[in-house]
Amino acid sequence: MITTVKKLLTKLSLIAKDKKAWLALIAGLFLTLSYAPYNLWYIAFLSLGILIYCINPQANGKSATKQSAKYGFIFGLGWFGAGISWVHVSIATFGGMPLIASISLMVLLCAYLALYPALAAWLTTRLAKGPYSFICLLLANFAVTEYLRGTLLTGFPWLSFGYTQTDSPLNFLAPVIGEFGITLVCVLIAFSLFRLLGKDIKPLIGSVTLLAGLYVIASNSALQYQDKTIKTVLVQGNIKQHLRFEPSEFWNTMSKYQDMTRLHWNADLIVWPEAAVPELEALSTQYLTGLDSAAAFNNTALITGIVDYQYDTRNIFNTLIVLGKKEQDDSEGHYQYLGKNRYQKHQLLPIGEFVPFQELLRPIAPLFDLPMSSFTRGDEVQNNLQANGLHILPAICYEIAFADLVRGNYRSDSDILFTVSNDAWFGDSHGPHQHMQIARMRALELQRPLIRVTNNGISAVYDPIAKSQLSMPQFKADVLEANITLIKGDSLYSQYGNWPVWIVVILLSAVAVFIRVKK
């Protein structure tokens, strides 16, 4: 035991003296500044450039492969340690765990996520033969590892590099190659800058040529505004998190949303947040029927989140339902319990909405036994919601980070991208800002107006053509009225998804293999 501890301390001492290890850590930490709310998007290129410098096989000698994996892992610790530090807010505040336990969980989560950039760095250095083989492999390996990070163990696609460019001049790429493609462009630009320091201008010329070609493609898009503008109303209740699922507070919450809406029925669409109605749907029939009639009487539709527990099957769904008019020429409301015009959340949040190994974990701490943490998955592909003649593409909370899932439910006649959430779990941290940034990226990819309404912010509407956002303050009960101009046409990304990017990745891999065989 003593020998093992000594070896560990020796390794930590060596890492502490390793200047590249510190560079990799600092680069990962500062990468957080590229994301919302800081939006210093150019730092992404600098951080990735430093990572490339650290894992450069020509500088690391015989131990290049092992060193690259180490630097990739340390970079990942900084990247996720600072980037998703907001997760600790929910664990510490609502998880009911001692500080040392909550910090340990965060370290484990960040260490797991850091394995992906470590794997990308290791594979690249292990297989590369020369600088151009290196960049081909680095792009291909980051594509694979980022895909795996977004899918394995239900996936955690948060903080991909492409999100740093949501509000940068490179956001014109989103409708063409999506966030996934922008991630690889970030790596390519970083490599070009790194090689420029060595007076190799060829990668920079290649990057500029590629961006120019993609800009021409984006400029020739047939996307344009429709001759139709709708008035929408977003209602943000700002219900305290510890009161949201207290049965004694159900009626107060439901009355509050009803009262906040009463003066704003003169809209085409009214939206409430995730589980805005805290009572189970089967027990809220009278309340929902009243809202359905009121919305129809005022020639509008209302979409709200609600929990649907089905007593016969014991399935419980995180649900969106439509009240009031389904079609524009309807004269009556159409709501009925278990009617087809609803959306059931598919991508559930681990721990928050389902607990793996629950028989083992639930007794350990309140974190693993939160209210409403036994949801059932909805179907992966579902119909758009229909509300007052509009076709609404829905996503609930965490789902908006899964580009393939959202695109899988997109249709050419989808009018609006609509997402609801409750980010009260994360307090006054950068988590809600990152969440809103991710939602904006989905709107840019699909070129559809975004409506996002949450319990306590950030609630906003976003126009992906004008790239303008209108939002209401966080942590305040408020109502936002906004006029939204609809958009017609399909983006390239909405039609082809990530397939063009994967074809390029395969070609890059083939080039790397050719260079390796030739040498």
Q: Which residues contact 149 (CB under 8 A, 6 or more apart)?
A: 113, 116, 155, 156, 157
Nearest to 437 by CA among 83, 155, 70, 132: 83
Report the relative pairing of strands 460-463 and 468-471 from DSSP bridges: antiparallel
Q: Is 105 helix (H, G, I), strand (E, B) or coil?
A: helix
User: d(Cα 500, Cα 493) in Å, to the nearest integer?
Assistant: 9
Q: Is 356 helix (H, G, I), strand (E, B) or coil?
A: coil
For residue 425, the 8-state DSSP code is G
H/E element holding 495?
helix 492-496
Nearest to 493 by CA among 214, 210, 217, 175: 175
Establish whether 281 is a catalytic residue.
no
Establish whether 274 is a catalytic residue.
yes
> Which tokens sit at 47?
């951080």
User: Residues 20, 70, 326, 345: which is the catalytic one?
Assistant: 345
Do the beta carbons of residue 478 and residue 472 sit within 8 Å? yes
Q: Is 471 helix (H, G, I), strand (E, B) or coil?
A: strand
Q: What is the largest CA-CA distance in the chain?
A: 80
User: d(Cα 395, Cα 497) in Å, to the nearest integer?
Assistant: 17
User: Residues 146, 274, 281, 399: which is the catalytic one?
Assistant: 274
Q: Is 321 helix (H, G, I), strand (E, B) or coil?
A: strand
Q: What is the secondary structure of 265-315 as a DSSP string? A: -SSSEEE--TT-B-S-GGG-HHHHHHHHHHHHHTT-EEEEEEEEEETTTTE
For residue 463, the 8-state DSSP code is E
User: d(Cα 430, Cα 75) in Å, to the nearest integer?
Assistant: 20
> Which tokens sit at 476?
């305040």
Nearest to 350 by CA among 136, 135, 89, 152: 152
Q: Is 373 helix (H, G, I), strand (E, B) or coil?
A: coil
> Which tokens sit at 87?
């997760």
Number of Cβ within 10 Å of residue 513's Cβ equals 15
User: Residues 20, 397, 399, 445: which is the catalytic one?
Assistant: 397
* Sign of the dihedral through C-alpha 196, 202, 203, 208: positive
Q: How far is CA 46 from the centre of its chain?
A: 23
Do the beta carbons of residue 82 and residue 114 sit within 8 Å? no
Q: Which residues are catalytic?
A: 274, 345, 397
